[in-house]
Structure formats: C-alpha cells, structure tokens
Chain A
C-alpha cells in the first residue's frame, strides 16, 4: 500500500513538474524589471512554503510524542524535519543566487534572510542533537522540545517582511495581499508548490520507513545482547 502511494505520488509530482517547467520557461514572459532571473521564484517560494509546512507538521508530531511517548511519532517528526531541511536549503541557495543578480550581492543580514538562516541553523542543530544523544527516549524528548521551539522562528521568518523594512521583497503573492504578480504568472508557482508537497510526502514516507527500520534494528540488538 505504502509503495503504491509512493509510486503514484512520484508519477503525479513528476508530471506536474514537467508540465510546469514547460510553462515557466516557454509560456511565462520575462518580468519587466528583473528579466529571466525572476523565474527562480518558482522554486524559491514553493520550496520555502513546503519547508514551513513540514516544520509545522513535525511540531505536531513532536507534541504527539511528548503526550504519548510513542517513539514512532519521534521517527515521523525526524523524517519530516529532515525533508523540510532539504527544501529550506533549496530556498537559501536559490534566494542567494537571485540576490546576486538583483542586489549585486550573494547575502545581506536583513531580517528575512537572517531569521531564515537562523531557522536553518536550528534544524541543523536538531540533527546534530539527535546524533549526539544515544538513549532513544532522551533523544526523542530533547529533539521534540527543540522542534516545538524552532517553530517560533518560522513565525518570525513569515512575518518579518511585514514587521520590518527589509531588503527582501515584501509580500508578492495574492494570499498575502501582495498582488504583485499577474494571475497567469502566479499559477505555476502554486502548481510547483503542489508538486513539491507530493515530492516531500514521498521522501517523508521513505524516511519514516527507514526510521522504523532503525527502531527495529535497535530492538533486535537489545535482544541479541540479552543472550
């Protein structure tokens, strides 16, 4: 069943991505001020929203672990956070490349960029913490607490372009009251977001199965040591 879901989602995500790439490169015109480089937004923003969605889902899974003490919920949270971190890395890299052309610099310490970088570092720290703690229960408890607190920074990242005057562009998408893109130019962004969500779901399903295998290996090891 899981394999069927993985295959189905992979195929649908692949088809949407291929169709959307065709639209992005061949149908959407260059932006009047930025030119062709603006197309990076079609990967940058969907990757960012996918990572935020994942980090929040992981937070709920972490809360679930603290309430039920079920290690499977910790495995789910770790899997979601890892996949989300990969998408957050895409956001950082693509944003930096866009900034090099539009601002003439690779990086600047403005509130949006800094808060996102801090968010990325927190989740890198999350995985360093998981590697450093051997006891599965202590590891799950500590990483659940960190995963919950890390979500506070996501609110700061999300709202920073409204709260502060930043170098990063203000809200552009229609749902945030931006209205900075023509409907025909905004639609491929949401299709890419859908494809990224499906891709992330596939990767999370695979990673969760691997984390379950790790738990199985730990249990078998304990059994083997008991002889």
Chain B
C-alpha cells in the first residue's frame, strides 16, 4: 500500500478533529460575548429603572 494512503488517512482524521475543535472554540467565543452582552443590557435596565424612580 502506498505511503500516500496513510498520509491521506491522517489528513482525514486531522480535518475531522479540526472542524470539531474549531466549532467548540467558536461556541466558547460566542458564550463569552453573550455573557458580556447580557451583563451590559442588565446594567442598562437597572440604570433605566433607577432613573425612573
């Protein structure tokens, strides 16, 4: 069997894991951004309520 066979098998497994890892990283980044956004909007609402009082 040609060595290319093993090389491409390695490529296949690497690509699969890279897609999983890339997707997990993108989820983690979105989580961070969403938490920051949620805190910011909560503060906005609290300030708004404070002004109304």
Contact = CB atoms under 8 A, between A and B. Distances in A.
Interface of A: 30, 34-37, 39-40, 43-44, 47, 83, 86, 89-90, 93-94, 97-98, 100-101, 199, 203, 206-207, 210, 213-214, 216-217, 220-221, 223-224, 227
Closest 8 interchain pairs by CB? A35-B1, A227-B48, A40-B12, A220-B41, A97-B12, A35-B5, A224-B44, A86-B23
Given A220-B42, A224-B41, A227-B52, A94 B5 contact: no
A213 B38 contact: yes
Nearest to B35: A213
A43 B9 contact: no
B34 A217 contact: yes
Contact of B12 (A89, A98, A217, A223): A98
Interface residues of B, number: 31
B52 A210 contact: no
B4 A94 contact: no
Contact of A210 (B11, B30, B41, B49): B30
B47 to A, nearest CB: 9
Contact of B9 (A37, A86, A221): A37
B49 A227 contact: yes
Interface in B1-46: 1-2, 4-6, 8-9, 11-13, 15-16, 19-20, 23-24, 27, 30-31, 34-35, 37-38, 41-42, 44-45
Nearest to A83: B23
Contacts of B49: 227
A203 to B, nearest CB: 7
Contacts of A39: 9, 12-13
Given A47-B16, A86-B20, A97-B15, A224 B5 contact: no
A46 to B, nearest CB: 10
14 contacts: A34-B5, A36-B6, A37-B8, A90-B20, A94-B16, A97-B15, A203-B23, A210-B31, A214-B34, A217-B34, A220-B42, A224-B48, A227-B51, A227-B52
A89 B19 contact: yes
A93 B2 CA distance: 21
